[in-house]
């Protein structure tokens, strides 16, 4: 069974997407941008600030399911120039 993960401490998903999904003991998070959930805008300060905000968003979602970075098995980061 799939359960949708949601927290107000990370930006809302855009369109038909969700912040994350839990299937059994596995949690999937995807598309976590460097958006500040308080403002709804990309973090100011360039790519470094946006990367830090993206990781904060991921930490908030992990906390929502009782997990931390130590529980992460795989990550993929997409960059554009």
Q: Give the Cα separation of 79 and 7 in Å (integer).
A: 25
Quick: pLDDT tens for 59-78.
Answer: 999 999 999 999 999 988 88
Q: Residue 61: which of 4, 24, 16, 9 has the closest Cα?
A: 9
Average pLDDT of the residues in 4-13: 91
The CATH code belonging to domain 2-71 is 3.30.1330.40
- Its pTM stands at 0.86
């Amino acid at each position: 069974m799939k359960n949708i993960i949601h927290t107000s401490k990370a930006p809302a998903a855009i369109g038909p997407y969700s912040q994350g999904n839990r299937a059994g003991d596995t949690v999937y998070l995807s598309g976590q941008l460097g958006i500040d959930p308080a403002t709804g805008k990309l973090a100011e300060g360039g790519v470094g600030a946006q990367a830090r905000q993206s990781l904060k968003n991921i930490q908030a979602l992990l906390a929502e399911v009782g997990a931390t970075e130590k529980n992460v098995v795989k990550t993929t980061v997409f960059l554009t120039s």
